[in-house]
A and B are shown apart, each in its own frame.
Chain A
Amino acid sequence: MARHRKTWSLVAVTVCLSIVLTSCWDKLEMDELALVSLIGIDIDPEREITTVYYQVINPLSSATTQGTPGPDEAPVFTYQAIGKSFGEARMNIYKSLSRQLFVAHHQAIIVSKRAAKAGLRDLVNFVEMLPNSRTSTPLLVADAPLVQVMYSFTPLERLPSDAVDARLDLLRKNTLFVGKQIELKHFIERMERKTMTVHPMISQTGTASGNISDTSSNIDARQTNIFFNQGAVFRDYRMVGSLTAQQMVWYYLLEGEKGRHTFRMPIGGKPVTILFKSVRIKKKVERSPEKPVVKIFLDLELNSVFSEEHVPQTLVQARRFEDAVDRGIRNELHSFYEMTKKRNWDLLRIGDLLLKHGLATPENIDTAAKEAKVEFYVHAKLGQTGGMKQIYQ
């Protein structure tokens, strides 16, 4: 035995290596994955039922070497899981889903309005607790019934999640209807800091259709299309109201977003369409004996490319143009602020600002915010002009 020690040790090592044959515990082939692109959450507070919708991509629905998909091939399938809590719902999904859930590439979370009103704290805890979930996806609220949103296709984009994602991207870059901080992690941070936040809301136009041929063979893009028109306002994990699209513009402008906005306002008696972009926003707090004054300085860059009604010809006209825009926007911002004060929403985050400067404490933050005086100073400058120096009269 001692003589053949080397042989025996080799045998022992080989036997130990047979562990490799146990076939890898975490191995998952790609065709065993259910690639989730969109997640929908609905909570029924009375019956305490949580419904989770997973929109799973059909991999054969995109063009590959096997050929292009048929016209009737559904690009996504929506599965529904019901349970008393998120964890239960997650387990119950396998009663109907034949593949392993793979949420790493999902592109948005859509929450129904009643779930948002009931409170999203449980959802947030669930998502953060799961080891492989990301919180860096947009959180959206559905204005239409969630069932309708999750079970309908969109024109032009085969995957509804693509429609949502691409649209949010375009809106973010080119307009002020959507901002940058609409992801779940921004939601968590804002809620934990006891401030308020706004997330886009999805509505639907036309009749929702779950049949791909209906959507892809209809010229009318208004049918079965989703639509961003409002914003949901959240405080303390609950939805407390909504903002119209126009109000969202002023909200995001005050947040410091760098998108552009087209605005029609009377200048010199005539309505003129102007395109403006925020260059810089600065918030200053001045201590005064009675109550603190918050001064918000806004620098805008104007572009007259859409101003088909009037193009300033002289410097005096341009100055008049700029002054009129200054005044108009200042009025709009002021009325927006009054609206938020009336509804008791601190959307400008005045309280937070005062706390930073030590002029308020966590206990009296709301009253301090309400009492503070807010002044807007807008300075618009005409930058780029359009393709014509003079319009056709």
Chain B
Amino acid sequence: MSRNDRHHVPPDLIQLVQRQLGFPPDLVIRTLQFWEGPPLQCMYLDTMADENAVDHYIQNMLSEGKLMEGAPAEAEEHGYIRELPFSSFHGDWVRHLVDAMLEGQCVIVDTNNERVCFLNAVSPIDRQTEEPKSETIVRGPHEGFTENIQANISLVRKRLKNPCLRFEKMQIGKQTRTTVMLAYLENLAPDGLVQEARRRLKAIRTESVLESAYIEEYVQDRTWSPFATLTNTERPDVLAAQLLEGKIAILIDGSPGALLAPVTFWEFFNSPEDYYQRADIATFIRWIRLISFFTAVFVPSLYVAATTFHQELIPPRLLISLSAQREGVPFPALFEVLLMEVVFEIIREAGLRMPRAIGQALSIVGAIVLGQAAVEAGLISAAIVIVVSITGITNFVVPVYSFGTTQRLLRFSFILLAGFMGLFGVLCGTLFLAAHLVTLKSFGVPYLTPISPTRKHGWKDVLVRLPRPHLDQTGLGYLRKTKYK
């Protein structure tokens, strides 16, 4: 170290750091005085760093005097120490120290020996690991991700004790500088896929990243499509299973949801419970889910088409009954269905935000007033209430919640088409939808694999779930054959 190097380091480093941070109330600056020499300055944000770890280290330092003797950096129980001599950093010291402190590290400045030590005592406020509320299952693990990315990584690592498990760290978001991790199994994920994912993540230019949806909207294949081309999960077992199939995962600090890609249409009907229960019941439930999808999307529009355009489809007895119900109802069937669908959406939204205390009362209001009373007042006919309730319930059968929103959007479009042109309109809408699905790609994988580009071995897990000995263990069937851009 020569005298010339010293002028890289501003003499009033501490004050500059304080000013950069804006004199926050949680900034702690401790002066550590040893027996001889100038004192050490120890700085940290007490909301981000674990004070106990800092104290523990300082005590060790004082008792054993290691720092004084210039001993090599050691890994401590609570954190690790990274030592950086002043001469080796050619950059903005202030900026570097501020970044480190914002991450939760404790900075010890030793101007005497011209080095800075970073003590990693990161421990931000965190919640307990609990089962995610939107992905509950009966049989299987009940752990879920939390907002701390380190905890999430440990949950994944404990399921995949595989040296090939890779995590690539990136910082995305100019203002928030959120840590984003790209996870994959190197021996299973295709190289093209990983490169493509990396390229897309690195190309993101945004101000803030607070949730996985922010990343999803930059990374997805097609923006203007009701179908999601990435799925998200809050369960570490699901993430591990998908990584084992050769997919990539994106974990975001501050959000429990992780993104998974590529995904096909049929995987939205898979729930982890399919694999934790036996094969026969899993196949049955999967069929129920597929039928629920078609019910949720098509039933209201088919009802409108049948009752306003093609009444001959309705059996005679039912037609007489429905005809009687419609006597005296002021609105056309299309309008009734739309009205009830919108009311159902309102009830659902209100149910999400409502405080638990009045939840019970409001659901009674919803059921009795809006259902029964409206029918008896002659505003709507009783069949509509049944149709809308069936639709509403089947909407939530699909395991991935974001797919439910897709169903809702599709349902409204089909209702409008059916009201416009009956079954012909529904046909045109279906063909349009099919044409859209057939050309949609998720990270290069066609969305309807293995049905549309037919991949025979993929059929073992789409409409049926064959028992585990017959399944393709690495599940890489369609991934291996896809060309990535």
A64 and B325 form a contact (CB under 8 A):
yes
Chain B residues with CB under 8 Å of A31's CB are 323, 326-327, 329
Known contacts A24-B419, A60-B327, A65-B375: does B312 contact A35 (CB below 8 Å)?
A: no
B321 and A64 form a contact (CB under 8 A):
yes
A35 and B319 form a contact (CB under 8 A):
yes
* Interface check B266, CB cutoff 8 A: no
Task: Select one of A26, A64, A105 contacting B319, CB under 8 A.
Answer: A105
Closest to A69 in B: B324
A62 and B422 form a contact (CB under 8 A):
no
Q: How far is the CA of A26 from the CA of B321 in the complex (A)?
A: 22
The 0/1 profile, CB within 8 Å of A marked 1, for residues 295-309 of chain B is 000000000000111
Q: How far is the CA of A29 from the CA of B329 in the complex (A)?
A: 11
A27 and B308 form a contact (CB under 8 A):
yes
The 0/1 profile, CB within 8 Å of B marked 1, for residues 10-27 of chain A is 000000000010001011
B324 and A59 form a contact (CB under 8 A):
yes
Chain B residues with CB under 8 Å of A57's CB are 320
Q: Which residues, 298 to 318 on A, are CB-close (under 8 Å) to B? A: none
Chain A residues with CB under 8 Å of B382's CB are 65
Chain B residues with CB under 8 Å of A35's CB are 316, 319-320, 323
B320 and A59 form a contact (CB under 8 A):
yes
Chain B residues with CB under 8 Å of A132's CB are 312
Q: How far is the CA of A30 from the CA of B329 in the complex (A)?
A: 11
Chain A min CB distance to B243 (Å): 41
B323 and A33 form a contact (CB under 8 A):
yes
A59 and B419 form a contact (CB under 8 A):
no
Chain B residues with CB under 8 Å of A104's CB are 311-312
Q: How far is the CA of A102 from the CA of B327 in the complex (A)?
A: 17
Closest to B376 in A: A65
Interface size range of chain B in the complex: 20 to 34
* Interface check B140, CB cutoff 8 A: no
The 0/1 profile, CB within 8 Å of B marked 1, for residues 53-71 of chain A is 0000101101011100000
B311 and A62 form a contact (CB under 8 A):
no
Q: How far is the CA of A59 from the CA of B318 in the complex (A)?
A: 11
The 0/1 profile, CB within 8 Å of B marked 1, for residues 226-260 of chain A is 00000000000000000000000000000000000
A24 and B319 form a contact (CB under 8 A):
no
* Interface check B420, CB cutoff 8 A: yes
Known contacts A29-B332, A60-B324, A66-B324: does B309 contact A20 (CB below 8 Å)?
A: no
Chain B residues with CB under 8 Å of A24's CB are 308-309, 419-422
Chain A residues with CB under 8 Å of B420's CB are 20, 24
Closest to B306 in A: A30
Q: Which residues, 83 to 124 on A, are CB-close (under 8 Å) to B? A: 102, 104-105
Q: How far is the CA of A26 from the CA of B307 in the complex (A)?
A: 12
Closest to A26 in B: B309
* Interface check B333, CB cutoff 8 A: yes
Q: Which residues, 362 to 387 on B, are CB-close (under 8 Å) to A? A: 375, 382
Chain A min CB distance to B337 (Å): 13
| Chain B residues within CB distance 8 Å of chain A | 307-309, 311-312, 316, 319-327, 329, 332-333, 375, 382, 416, 419-422
29 A-B residue pairs with CB within 8 Å: A20-B420, A24-B309, A24-B421, A26-B422, A27-B309, A27-B332, A27-B419, A27-B422, A28-B308, A28-B309, A29-B308, A29-B326, A30-B308, A30-B323, A30-B326, A31-B327, A31-B329, A35-B316, A35-B323, A59-B320, A59-B323, A62-B320, A62-B324, A65-B325, A65-B375, A66-B324, A66-B327, A102-B311, A105-B316
